[in-house]
Amino acid sequence: MKKSHMASILTFLLLVPATLYLGTRLPGRSYYITSTLIIIELMIPFFLAYEGRRPQARELVLIAVMAAAAIASRVAIPLPHFKPVFAVIILSGVVFGPEAGFMVGAITAFASNFFYGQGSFTPWQMMAFGAGGMLAGFVFQKKGLPRKPWIIAAFGFLTVVLWIGPLLDCSHIFLIMSKISWEAVLAVLLAGFYANISQAICTVITLLLFGKPILEKLDRVRIKYGMTN
């Protein structure tokens, strides 16, 4: 069996249950540490699988470029608070497949925090962006949904509002609430709702205006240089 497969099985069967067990045994509010550890442990198999299959130089540079473009995209658009970051991640997932989508998302989150500051949310953001990019890759596969800009935009809106935003809010719930109750969760989610909606609207605008030309360009580069995924 391949080393990376072994690592995934060990993670799911041993590491995660062990963390959960220890987490329940710890006194006080240990849920932040427990949940963050589990998030990190869930990402390990993805990264190990990527390392294990020894990616080609072209794939590496491609992912690095898309992640760097996602980070730099904030500067390219002369509007304050307009972040097209997630739109770029979705588009790379759509064109280059689920694995590239995950890597672009996770690396974007991690690397951008070296510029804007790491925090308690870093692993959560990596997971949220990575899984979002991967989902885009699965949904818009060859046999999946058609790659129309408005469908991708609708997908982008739903992922930001239902997955990325709530996941990041969760990391805050675990840190700032002394007692977890449904009301507390609801309050934090509502407080984050405005920010999540504005983030989702940025994503939708970017995908609608920019989806078609960039899809064509990405596909052209992919076909021109024979990068079939």
Partner 1 sequence: MMEQDAFGKCHPAVNFLFFVGAIGFGVLIQHPVYLAAGALCAGIYYMLLHGAQGWKRILQLLPLFVLLTLINPLFNIQGERVLFDVFGRPYTLEALIYGADVAGIFVVMLLWFGCYNRILTGDKFTSLFGNWIPAISLLLVMVFRMVPGLMGKSKQIAAARRSVGKGVGTSTRQKLDAGMAVLSALISWALEGSVVTGDSMRARGYGTAKRTSFQLYRMTVRDGLLLATMMFLGASVIGVAVMGGMGAEFTPRLQIAPVSGWSVLGLAAYCLFLLIPTAMHCKEALQWSISKLKI
Smaller CB separation from partner 1, 145 or 227: 227
Figure out which of the listed residues 9, 18, 22, 120 binds partner 1, where binding follows CB under 8 A: 120
User: Nearest CA to 98 among 130, 127, 66?
Assistant: 130
If binding is defined by CB under 8 A, does position 205 make contact with partner 1?
yes
Contacts of 101 (CB under 8 A, 6+ apart): 89, 90, 92, 93, 94, 130, 132, 133, 134, 135, 136, 137
**Is residue 6 within 8 Å of residue 52, measured between CB atoms?**
no
Distance CA 105, CA 126 (A): 7
Distance CA 182, CA 173 (A): 11
If binding is defined by CB under 8 A, does position 190 make contact with partner 1?
no
Distance CA 201, CA 191 (A): 17
The distance between the two most distant Cα atoms of the chain, rounded to a whole number of Å, is 58
If binding is defined by CB under 8 A, does position 3 make contact with partner 1?
no
CB of 156 to partner 1, least distance (A): 15
If binding is defined by CB under 8 A, does position 221 make contact with partner 1?
yes
If binding is defined by CB under 8 A, does position 228 make contact with partner 1?
no
If binding is defined by CB under 8 A, does position 138 make contact with partner 1?
no
CB of 143 to partner 1, least distance (A): 26
Q: What residues line the site for partner 1 (CB under 8 A)? A: 26-30, 32-33, 47, 50-51, 54-65, 67-69, 71-73, 75-79, 82, 84, 88, 103, 107, 110-111, 114-115, 117-120, 175-179, 181, 183-184, 187, 205-206, 209-210, 213-214, 217-218, 221, 225
